[in-house]
Amino acid sequence: EAQVTQNPRYLITVTGKKLTVTCSQNMNHEYMSWYRQDPGLGLRQIYYSMNVEVTDKGDVPEGYKVSRKEKRNFPLILESPSPNQTSLYFCASSLDRGDNSPLHFGNGTRLTVT
Amino acid sequence: AQSVAQPEDQVNVAEGNPLTVKCTYSVSGNPYLFWYVQYPNRGLQFLLKYITGDNLVKGSYGFEAEFNKSQTSFHLKKPSALVSDSALYFCAVRGLGGNKLTFGTGTQLKVEL
Protein backbone atom coordinates (compact mmCIF):
# COMPACT_ATOMS: atom_id res chain seq x y z
CA GLU A 1 0.00 0.00 0.00
CA ALA A 2 1.28 3.45 -0.96
CA GLN A 3 1.74 5.46 2.18
CA VAL A 4 3.66 7.94 4.26
CA THR A 5 4.59 6.52 7.65
CA GLN A 6 5.43 8.66 10.64
CA ASN A 7 6.65 7.48 14.00
CA PRO A 8 5.84 7.84 16.78
CA ARG A 9 2.14 8.83 16.73
CA TYR A 10 2.36 10.32 20.19
CA LEU A 11 5.38 11.69 22.03
CA ILE A 12 5.69 13.39 25.39
CA THR A 13 9.08 14.79 26.29
CA VAL A 14 10.76 17.39 28.46
CA THR A 15 12.37 20.65 27.51
CA GLY A 16 15.84 20.23 26.05
CA LYS A 17 15.78 16.50 25.40
CA LYS A 18 16.69 15.86 21.77
CA LEU A 19 14.17 13.91 19.73
CA THR A 20 13.65 12.67 16.20
CA VAL A 21 10.37 12.05 14.40
CA THR A 22 10.81 9.66 11.52
CA CYS A 23 9.05 9.85 8.16
CA SER A 24 9.23 7.32 5.37
CA GLN A 25 7.41 7.05 2.04
CA ASN A 26 7.22 4.05 -0.28
CA MET A 27 6.09 5.84 -3.44
CA ASN A 28 9.50 6.93 -4.77
CA HIS A 29 8.45 10.55 -4.34
CA GLU A 30 11.01 13.29 -4.91
CA TYR A 31 9.37 15.99 -2.79
CA MET A 32 8.93 15.71 0.97
CA SER A 33 7.86 18.25 3.54
CA TRP A 34 7.14 18.74 7.23
CA TYR A 35 4.22 20.78 8.57
CA ARG A 36 2.97 21.66 12.00
CA GLN A 37 -0.73 22.12 12.68
CA ASP A 38 -1.88 24.46 15.43
CA PRO A 39 -5.45 25.57 16.24
CA GLY A 40 -6.38 28.73 14.40
CA LEU A 41 -3.17 28.72 12.39
CA GLY A 42 -3.77 25.89 9.96
CA LEU A 43 -0.75 24.08 8.58
CA ARG A 44 2.60 25.84 8.46
CA GLN A 45 5.56 24.46 6.58
CA ILE A 46 8.71 23.77 8.59
CA TYR A 47 11.13 22.37 6.02
CA TYR A 48 10.91 20.77 2.63
CA SER A 49 13.14 18.73 0.34
CA MET A 50 13.08 18.69 -3.43
CA ASN A 51 15.29 15.61 -3.65
CA VAL A 52 18.07 13.71 -1.90
CA GLU A 53 20.55 16.02 -0.15
CA VAL A 54 18.43 19.08 -1.03
CA THR A 55 16.54 20.74 1.83
CA ASP A 56 15.11 24.24 2.31
CA LYS A 57 13.45 26.23 5.05
CA GLY A 58 9.72 26.72 5.11
CA ASP A 59 7.80 29.32 7.09
CA VAL A 60 8.70 28.21 10.61
CA PRO A 61 12.09 26.44 10.57
CA GLU A 62 13.48 27.78 13.87
CA GLY A 63 14.28 25.04 16.34
CA TYR A 64 14.08 22.23 13.78
CA LYS A 65 16.50 20.31 11.59
CA VAL A 66 15.96 17.85 8.79
CA SER A 67 18.04 15.57 6.61
CA ARG A 68 17.44 13.77 3.33
CA LYS A 69 20.15 11.17 2.94
CA GLU A 70 17.85 8.70 1.19
CA LYS A 71 14.92 9.36 -1.08
CA ARG A 72 12.39 7.56 1.11
CA ASN A 73 13.29 9.06 4.50
CA PHE A 74 12.95 12.60 5.82
CA PRO A 75 13.40 12.74 9.60
CA LEU A 76 12.54 15.83 11.66
CA ILE A 77 14.97 16.60 14.47
CA LEU A 78 14.37 18.80 17.48
CA GLU A 79 17.79 19.35 19.05
CA SER A 80 16.47 21.13 22.14
CA PRO A 81 12.67 21.02 22.25
CA SER A 82 10.74 23.81 23.95
CA PRO A 83 7.09 24.01 25.05
CA ASN A 84 6.20 26.23 22.07
CA GLN A 85 7.00 23.26 19.83
CA THR A 86 4.08 21.36 21.31
CA SER A 87 2.00 20.69 18.22
CA LEU A 88 0.65 18.16 15.73
CA TYR A 89 3.25 17.39 13.06
CA PHE A 90 2.65 16.02 9.59
CA CYS A 91 5.05 14.67 7.04
CA ALA A 92 3.97 14.77 3.40
CA SER A 93 5.35 13.74 0.05
CA SER A 94 4.54 14.22 -3.62
CA LEU A 95 5.84 12.93 -6.91
CA ASP A 96 7.53 16.21 -7.72
CA ARG A 97 7.57 19.65 -6.15
CA GLY A 98 3.82 19.58 -6.38
CA ASP A 99 2.72 21.93 -9.12
CA ASN A 100 0.39 19.22 -10.33
CA SER A 101 1.02 16.50 -7.83
CA PRO A 102 -1.10 16.36 -4.69
CA LEU A 103 0.55 15.82 -1.35
CA HIS A 104 0.25 12.50 0.47
CA PHE A 105 0.22 12.95 4.24
CA GLY A 106 1.21 10.74 7.11
CA ASN A 107 -1.20 10.27 10.03
CA GLY A 108 0.59 12.78 12.21
CA THR A 109 2.72 12.91 15.35
CA ARG A 110 1.31 14.64 18.38
CA LEU A 111 4.20 16.10 20.35
CA THR A 112 3.94 17.50 23.86
CA VAL A 113 6.94 19.27 25.37
CA THR A 114 6.72 19.95 29.11
CA ALA B 1 3.46 36.79 -0.25
CA GLN B 2 0.75 34.31 -1.02
CA SER B 3 -2.12 33.66 1.36
CA VAL B 4 -5.36 31.77 1.77
CA ALA B 5 -8.42 32.85 3.72
CA GLN B 6 -11.14 30.53 4.95
CA PRO B 7 -13.54 32.98 6.56
CA GLU B 8 -15.68 30.44 8.40
CA ASP B 9 -14.28 28.40 11.28
CA GLN B 10 -17.31 26.14 11.17
CA VAL B 11 -20.12 25.38 8.73
CA ASN B 12 -23.25 23.54 9.82
CA VAL B 13 -25.58 21.93 7.31
CA ALA B 14 -28.39 19.40 7.41
CA GLU B 15 -27.92 16.08 5.65
CA GLY B 16 -29.26 16.22 2.12
CA ASN B 17 -28.81 19.97 1.80
CA PRO B 18 -26.17 21.55 -0.42
CA LEU B 19 -22.97 22.70 1.25
CA THR B 20 -20.42 25.39 0.48
CA VAL B 21 -17.07 25.92 2.17
CA LYS B 22 -15.52 29.23 1.22
CA CYS B 23 -11.94 29.98 0.21
CA THR B 24 -10.27 33.07 -1.19
CA TYR B 25 -6.61 33.39 -2.11
CA SER B 26 -3.88 35.84 -2.95
CA VAL B 27 -0.91 34.85 -5.13
CA SER B 28 1.32 36.30 -7.81
CA GLY B 29 0.44 35.03 -11.24
CA ASN B 30 -1.77 32.07 -11.99
CA PRO B 31 -2.66 29.92 -9.00
CA TYR B 32 -2.63 26.21 -8.39
CA LEU B 33 -5.49 25.55 -5.95
CA PHE B 34 -6.22 22.51 -3.82
CA TRP B 35 -8.74 21.22 -1.31
CA TYR B 36 -7.81 18.69 1.33
CA VAL B 37 -9.93 16.99 3.99
CA GLN B 38 -8.85 15.84 7.43
CA TYR B 39 -10.77 13.24 9.41
CA PRO B 40 -10.13 12.87 13.16
CA ASN B 41 -6.73 11.41 14.03
CA ARG B 42 -5.72 11.22 10.38
CA GLY B 43 -3.54 13.12 7.98
CA LEU B 44 -4.93 15.32 5.24
CA GLN B 45 -6.34 13.67 2.15
CA PHE B 46 -6.42 15.25 -1.30
CA LEU B 47 -9.91 16.08 -2.61
CA LEU B 48 -9.43 18.06 -5.80
CA LYS B 49 -7.27 20.61 -7.58
CA TYR B 50 -7.47 23.42 -10.10
CA ILE B 51 -4.52 23.87 -12.39
CA THR B 52 -5.99 25.28 -15.58
CA GLY B 53 -8.99 24.84 -17.86
CA ASP B 54 -12.60 24.43 -16.79
CA ASN B 55 -13.48 26.60 -13.81
CA LEU B 56 -15.61 23.84 -12.28
CA VAL B 57 -13.45 21.06 -10.93
CA LYS B 58 -14.84 17.72 -9.80
CA GLY B 59 -13.14 15.67 -7.13
CA SER B 60 -13.52 12.77 -4.74
CA TYR B 61 -16.67 11.83 -2.79
CA GLY B 62 -18.96 14.00 -4.95
CA PHE B 63 -17.22 17.26 -4.10
CA GLU B 64 -16.59 19.99 -6.62
CA ALA B 65 -15.06 23.45 -6.53
CA GLU B 66 -15.51 26.54 -8.63
CA PHE B 67 -12.55 28.71 -9.56
CA ASN B 68 -13.44 32.39 -9.91
CA LYS B 69 -10.48 34.45 -11.05
CA SER B 70 -12.14 37.86 -10.69
CA GLN B 71 -13.16 37.13 -7.11
CA THR B 72 -9.97 35.15 -6.36
CA SER B 73 -12.11 32.43 -4.86
CA PHE B 74 -12.17 28.65 -4.93
CA HIS B 75 -15.25 27.57 -2.97
CA LEU B 76 -15.83 23.89 -2.24
CA LYS B 77 -19.34 22.59 -2.92
CA LYS B 78 -21.42 19.45 -2.75
CA PRO B 79 -25.05 19.20 -3.92
CA SER B 80 -26.20 16.91 -1.12
CA ALA B 81 -24.30 16.64 2.16
CA LEU B 82 -23.79 13.41 4.09
CA VAL B 83 -23.14 12.99 7.81
CA SER B 84 -19.91 11.22 6.81
CA ASP B 85 -18.73 14.47 5.16
CA SER B 86 -18.23 15.95 8.63
CA ALA B 87 -14.52 16.77 8.82
CA LEU B 88 -11.98 19.59 8.72
CA TYR B 89 -11.44 21.06 5.25
CA PHE B 90 -8.35 22.95 4.10
CA CYS B 91 -7.89 25.11 1.05
CA ALA B 92 -4.33 25.60 -0.28
CA VAL B 93 -2.62 27.64 -2.98
CA ARG B 94 0.69 27.55 -4.81
CA GLY B 95 1.88 30.14 -7.29
CA LEU B 96 3.09 29.08 -10.73
CA GLY B 97 6.69 27.92 -10.45
CA GLY B 98 6.70 28.22 -6.69
CA ASN B 99 7.86 25.62 -4.21
CA LYS B 100 5.61 26.62 -1.38
CA LEU B 101 2.07 25.41 -0.75
CA THR B 102 0.19 27.75 1.60
CA PHE B 103 -2.75 26.39 3.57
CA GLY B 104 -5.75 28.17 5.02
CA THR B 105 -6.69 27.83 8.67
CA GLY B 106 -9.31 25.20 7.97
CA THR B 107 -13.12 25.02 8.16
CA GLN B 108 -14.87 22.47 10.33
CA LEU B 109 -17.86 21.04 8.47
CA LYS B 110 -20.61 19.52 10.58
CA VAL B 111 -23.42 17.69 8.81
CA GLU B 112 -26.37 16.80 11.02
CA LEU B 113 -29.34 14.52 10.55
Chain Cα centroid distance, residue A16: 19
Q: At B27, which amino acid appears?
A: V
Encode pLDDT of A12-34 as tens digits.
999 999 999 999 999 999 999 99
Q: Is the pLDDT of residue A98 over 80?
A: no
How many alpha carbons lie under 13 Å from residue A50 in its C-beta half-sphere?
A: 8
Contact A108, A89 (CB under 8 A): yes
* Contact with chain B for residue A104, Cβ under 8 A: yes
Cα gap B19→B87, rounded to integer Å: 13
pLDDT of residue B30: 86
Q: Looking at chain A, which residue has its C-alpha nearest residue B47?
A: A102
Q: What pLDDT digit, counting tens, does each position of B39-70 carry?
A: 988 899 999 999 888 999 999 999 999 999 99
pLDDT at B4 over 70: yes
Q: Is the Cβ pair A105, B49 closer than 8 Å?
A: no
Task: Name the DSSP class of A29.
Answer: -
CA B60, CA B17: separation in Å to the nearest integer? 18
CA–CA dist B98, B57 (Å, integer): 22
